[in-house]
A and B are shown apart, each in its own frame.
Chain A
Amino acid sequence: MTHATATLDQMRPPVPAEPGLPIYNNKLGMWVFLASEVMFFTGLIGAYVILRFGAPGEWAKPNVVLNVPLTGINTFILICSSVSMVKAFAAISAGDRKGLSRWLLATILLGATFVSVQGVEYWKLVHEGFTPAGFTAGSHITELVAQGKLSDVTGGLYGSTFFTMTGFHGFHVTCGVICLIYVWLKSLRGGYTQQDYRGVEVIGLYWHFVDLVWIILFTIVYLI
């Protein structure tokens, strides 16, 4: 289904201006913001890669400390939320306002589920003794070390990098969910029409970016 022509076309670059990029300001602004977010995660993930490459001891194997199956499902939930986001976008671009609101609600619920699963996993890990400051003595995790399945030389680094990266990703997902709720409420009030659904597209770009970062994080933190 092609996008219907629009009369008062809000979704084009501003009229009385020299042609810059052929996209409207909000979208260009979001892409520029996402470039700065890429640099922010470069700082964090870069530090993780460098610390791990130069780590004095042997890094923890996948699925020893972190529960990979649960996180795999969590990744799948975030991918579904990306799909529902894009379905919402397709709905409004075809003029279906009710579809937009329904898909947005689905995205919010999936996103919130992802964050809560992440929160529960944090709570469980901390209780097992795996904290940002490393392995707390006399906990389940030190037994793992005792059984030789894990070296605690790199425990401090493992905790620091894991919690900082996934923590800040969770923070970005939470901000995304809050913005989605705002967009959803506005869509309920009929804020978006087929002619002007910029807000949906911009928050969609942010949401897909957060999903993209998680795809990379899931692989390099949980699987490698």
Chain B
Amino acid sequence: MATTAHKAPNYILIWAYLFGLTVLEVLFAFEMPISRNLKILVLLGLAVWKALLVALFFMHLKFESRYLRLMVLVPLPLAAIFILAVITEHVW
């Protein structure tokens, strides 16, 4: 494998996390205890958390060189720049 030998992460635990988070998300989406904006933030947070779990453990980013991690992050600010800039069109 790549440079550093690493103990394979406990995939079943990650699977349990993902399953739990998905159920949590679905439940959370339909209980309406809080304001809409906070709900969106929480749901996005859960989604990002699950995405990070997949990326770090399933795609082994956690054990890769930091240059690769940096390279993988490059497109994200571009996406953010595009969406934030175009959204201001409606905050005329």
Contact = CB atoms under 8 A, between A and B. Distances in A.
B75 to A, nearest CB: 4
Nearest to A205: B59
A42 B84 CA distance: 12
Given A68-B26, A219-B43, A223-B25, A38 B76 contact: yes
B43 A224 contact: yes
A75 to B, nearest CB: 6
B34 interface: no
A5 B48 CA distance: 35
Contact of B43 (A2, A32, A223): A223
Interface in A15-43: 21-23, 28, 31-32, 34-36, 38-39, 42
* Secondary structure dominating the interface of B: helix
Interface stretch (A78-86, A150-158, A184-192): A78-86
A57 interface: no
Given A22-B3, A42-B78, A209-B59, A49 B87 contact: yes
A222 B29 CA distance: 9
Interface of A is mostly: helix
B1 to A, nearest CB: 4
Interface of B: 1-3, 5-8, 11-12, 14-15, 18-19, 22-23, 25-26, 29-30, 39-40, 43-44, 46-48, 50-51, 54-55, 57-59, 64-65, 67-68, 71-72, 74-76, 78-79, 82-83, 86-87, 89-90
8 contacts: A23-B68, A46-B79, A72-B23, A72-B26, A83-B12, A86-B11, A86-B57, A212-B54
Interface of A: 1-3, 11-12, 21-23, 28, 31-32, 34-36, 38-39, 42, 46, 49-50, 53-54, 62-63, 68-69, 72, 75-76, 79-80, 82-83, 85-87, 90, 93, 204-205, 208-209, 211-212, 215-216, 218-220, 222-224
